[in-house]
Structure 1
């Protein structure tokens, strides 16, 4: 099974490249704890998507640490990576978005895979549940979203964006992207729309279990996206939108798999101290060895 980690963000609110910040007790990146949890649950292929200038940094850091029998692909998400026959002549600095990051891995993945953010900690049970789902749905077109509870995913230091889910039983119906969620008076308020939430809603933290059929769908969407000059200049392609379009078209089913664990992330610089403390606490409790990787 493959774990695809997205690490191409610029960390503008964090102030530096948070994906490559040494948050662990022995200087580990946050993503290394996710890789460790994935390997314990049978994942044997790690794909990391990052900016071109960070490919060597990531390879040089990870390859000596993770076991030698684990396949590692570090790929660059580049603006010039377009579908055959397509072109873009406008000006653009930001990557094409998370769906394009997934599409970057189209030539190295040929089976079910989990995809998630490299700068989030998802909890050990989330990887176990995702791995079990991938094994059970190895040859069908059923996707999964590893779901978290909204109130458990907020930041004390500012608003956050989350995909608020509508769920019927364990079936995902839709994902509503809310961009400025903050806790207020025991509830959660979206500052953009004014929508109010109880905090008990299931949300997407961009942890999906996908089938390779998503690559063809992303390419089709990307072609349409590039044909619209306004979109191509100012917008991005997002995984939830792609999955939702496949779902609404009846091309796939999507199950919501409970994470069963805790989550934390590093959105703001002020989140760093808490993340460092969390990782130290989990290490002290014996949930992770110290150092995380034995010498090879």
Structure 2
């Protein structure tokens, strides 16, 4: 019998540009969070467990919000990400206030996951097709040296209200990821999509796949992440703003010949809330999906 994959949710972010805890804000017609749609789609796609990475300050709130709705539908576990998680005492710095980033968040779940797993952001809507294609990969295709990410076309993941940060991908003829560069200031300017975040003006062609942080991993990756983390800490001991990102892990594995990443074409629909002005757009999009029957009147009964 195939082992059901786990959904790992990164929900410890501060939501600084949005102006609040958007991970627990209501957007659906019955006050559903964006995350609830991801969990609903994951259950439909055959996932058997959800692990939520949260900060200690919102742990009780997250439990009160999600546990009553998910009881009996999927196994749920909460894991804390703190500034000292998996950080030996000699590398702990009381002056640091910035979280260590997405790969550190994944590492925090190391002891809670023993099967292939997907990683998502709590505040992004990925669409049921994405969960279907990644769920199938995690049950049928994943290997210790073969992982995946769901690709989204750049033109479908922009905001009308400001610049966005995206992992811009390069792939080979086999639809495998060659490398990824995080572009931190991307916006549509007239007919073009322009990145200005790294001190240069770079046009990104429509159709270019980008990462929206929807990854699929074999559980063997935890060992690789730990190895990289143990190199990251001494190298960044005095850099209080350094971050350890999932794309860094992927690039290191690819360039070191340790693993390959398939780019899956399940990224049909995406929306998210980067700015407060994005909220009404998301509310309207979700309402249309309920009205069309893609989601029931109420997600949970």
- TM bracket, shorter-chain basis: over 0.9
- 1:2 paired residue number: 6
- TM alignment of 1:5-84, pairs within 5 A: 5-83=9-87
Q: Distance in 2 between matches of 1:105 and 1:232?
A: 24
Q: Distance in 2 between matches of 1:69 and 1:125?
A: 20
Contact map agreement 1:112 1:212 (CA 8 A) in 2: yes
RMSD between aligned alpha carbons? Answer: 1.5
Gaps of 5+ in 2: none
Q: Distance in 2 between matches of 1:86 and 1:211?
A: 31
Number of equivalences: 294
- 1:151 paired residue number: 155
Find out whether 1:227 has 2:234 as its counterpart.
yes
Query: C-alpha displacement at 1:260, in angstroms?
Result: 4.3
Gaps of 5+ in 1: none
Q: Distance in 2 between matches of 1:82 and 1:167?
A: 33
- 1:203 paired residue number: 210
Query: C-alpha displacement at 1:32, in angstroms?
Result: 0.1
Task: Give secondary structure in 2 for the equivalent of 1:220.
Answer: helix
Find out whether 1:97 has 2:104 as its counterpart.
no
Task: Give secondary structure in 2 for the equivalent of 1:82.
Answer: coil
Task: Give secondary structure in 1 for the equivalent of 2:178.
Answer: strand
- TM alignment of 1:269-280, pairs within 5 A: 269-280=276-287
* Gap change, CA 1:218 and 1:114, over 3 Å in 2: same
Query: C-alpha displacement at 1:264, in angstroms?
Result: 0.3
Q: Distance in 2 between matches of 1:56 and 1:15?
A: 20
Q: Distance in 2 between matches of 1:27 and 1:200?
A: 33
Measured against aligned partners, the alpha-carbon deviations of 1:186-224 in whole angstroms (never above 9, x if no partner) come to 111111221111222010000000112222222222222
What is the TM-score normalised by the length of structure 2? 0.94
- 2:178 paired residue number: 173
Task: Give secondary structure in 2 for the equivalent of 1:240.
Answer: helix
Contact map agreement 1:88 1:226 (CA 8 A) in 2: no
- TM alignment of 1:91-130, pairs within 5 A: 91-130=95-134
Find out whether 1:257 has 2:261 as its counterpart.
no
Measured against aligned partners, the alpha-carbon deviations of 1:154-185 in whole angstroms (never above 9, x if no partner) come to 00000000011101121110111100001012
Contact map agreement 1:111 1:138 (CA 8 A) in 2: no
**Stretch of structure 1 that moved more, 82-91 or 70-79:** 82-91
Task: Give secondary structure in 1 for the equivalent of 2:227.
Answer: helix
Query: C-alpha displacement at 1:87, in angstroms?
Result: 3.0
Q: Distance in 1 between matches of 2:114 and 2:106?
A: 13
What is the TM-score normalised by the length of structure 1? 0.95
**Stretch of structure 1 that moved more, 25-34 or 56-65:** 56-65
Contact map agreement 1:86 1:223 (CA 8 A) in 2: no
**Stretch of structure 1 that moved more, 12-21 or 62-71:** 62-71
Measured against aligned partners, the alpha-carbon deviations of 1:51-84 in whole angstroms (never above 9, x if no partner) come to 1111111111111101415210111111111255
- TM alignment of 1:186-197, pairs within 5 A: 186-192=191-197, 193-197=200-204
Query: C-alpha displacement at 1:139, in angstroms?
Result: 4.3
Q: Distance in 2 between matches of 1:289 and 1:197?
A: 37
